[in-house]
Amino acid sequence: MTTKEMAGTQVELDNDGHLKDFKTWNENIAPELAKEEGIDALTDRHWAVINFMRKEYEATQTAPTMRKITKQSGVGTKEFYELFPKGPARKAAKIGGLPKPKGCI
């Protein structure tokens, strides 16, 4: 575990770089996490996925599956991969302050 300052907030990260407590996340932290993942700017479409994932996590305490994201968020599979290249579910969860989704390597 590591403690790091992001957007003026001290956050704890797990060994994979995900926030330990999703409640410490805020919208100012997301762009910093995105840059670490090679995403320079978050668009409205990125935010659609991030907000969907956070809402689902709050309801179920589990990060949604890729299938659920692409079927219910309004962002299709191809676009999801374009928004979050090379591991979209993991990257989107990390940027959204969520734990690594189950099944992600």
pLDDT in tens, 32-81: 999 999 999 999 999 999 999 999 999 999 999 899 999 999 999 999 99
Question: How much is the average pLDDT of 1-30?
Answer: 91
Collapsing DSSP states into helix, strand and coil, what is residue 79?
helix
| Alpha carbon distance 76, 71 (integer Å) | 7
76 in Cβ contact with 102 (< 8 Å): no
Confidence of residue 98 (pLDDT cuts 50, 70, 90): very high
To the query of whether residue 104 is one of the catalytic residues in this protein, the response is yes
Amino acid symbol at 70: T
pLDDT at 105 over 50: no
pTM of the model: 0.92
Catalytic residue among 7, 13, 48, 104: 104
Please give the pLDDT value at position 104: 55
Confidence of residue 100 (pLDDT cuts 50, 70, 90): confident
Collapsing DSSP states into helix, strand and coil, what is residue 23?
helix
| Alpha carbon distance 46, 48 (integer Å) | 5
61 in Cβ contact with 53 (< 8 Å): no
pLDDT at 25 over 60: yes
| Alpha carbon distance 69, 23 (integer Å) | 21
Q: Please name each of the domains of the chain with its CATH number.
A: 2-95 (3.30.1420.10)
Q: What is the mean pLDDT of the chain?
A: 92
